[in-house]
Chains A and B, each alone.
Chain A
Amino acid sequence: QQQVKQSPQSLIVQKGGISIINCAYENTAFDYFPWYQQFPGKGPALLIAIRPDVSEKKEGRFTISFNKSAKQFSLHIMDSQPGDSATYFCATRNAGGTSYGKLTFGQGTILTVHP
Chain B
Amino acid sequence: KAGVTQTPRYLIKTRGQQVTLSCSPISGHRSVSWYQQTPGQGLQFLFEYFSETQRNKGNFPGRFSGRQFSNSRSEMNVSTLELGDSALYLCASSSGAGSNTGELFFGEGSRLTVL
Proximity bits, A33-55, B CB within 8 Å = 1, else 0: 01010000111111001000000
Contact B99 A43 (CB under 8 A): no
Contact A101 B99 (CB under 8 A): yes
Residue of B nearest to A41 (CB): B108
Contact B97 A101 (CB under 8 A): yes
Residue contacts A-B, CB under 8 angstroms, 6 given: A43-B108, A43-B109, A45-B106, A89-B43, A101-B100, A105-B45
Tell me which residues from 82 to 111 in chain A have a Cβ below 8 Å from any Cβ of chain B: 89, 93, 95, 98-108
Contact B90 A43 (CB under 8 A): yes
Interface membership of A1, Cβ < 8 A = yes
Contacts A43-B107, A45-B106; is A103 near B42 (CB within 8 Å)? Answer: no
Task: Tell me the count of chain B residues lying within 8 A, CB to CB, of chain A.
Answer: 27
- State the majority secondary structure of interface residues on B: mixed
> Could you say which residues of chain B place their CB within 8 Å of the CB of A74?
none
> Could you say which residues of chain A place their CB within 8 Å of the CB of B97?
101
**Distance in Å from the Cβ of A74 to the closest Cβ of chain B?**
17
Interface membership of B70, Cβ < 8 A = no
- In the complex, the number of residue pairs spanning A and B with C-beta atoms less than 8 Å apart equals 63
Interface membership of A79, Cβ < 8 A = no
Residues of B within 8 A of A (CB): 4, 33, 35, 40-43, 45, 48, 55-56, 59, 90, 92, 97-109
> Could you say which residues of chain A place their CB within 8 Å of the CB of B45?
102-105
> Could you say which residues of chain B place their CB within 8 Å of the CB of A105?
35, 42-43, 45
Contacts A101-B101, A103-B33; is A6 near B90 (CB within 8 Å)? Answer: no
Residues of A within 8 A of B (CB): 1, 6, 9, 31-32, 34, 36, 41-46, 49, 89, 93, 95, 98-108
Contact B106 A43 (CB under 8 A): yes
Contact B43 A43 (CB under 8 A): no
> Could you say which residues of chain B place their CB within 8 Å of the CB of A89?
42-43
Contact B48 A102 (CB under 8 A): yes
**Distance in Å from the Cβ of A41 to the closest Cβ of chain B?**
7
> Could you say which residues of chain B place their CB within 8 Å of the CB of A49?
103
Query: Top 5 closest A-B pairs, CB basis?
Result: A43-B106, A107-B42, A101-B101, A105-B43, A101-B98
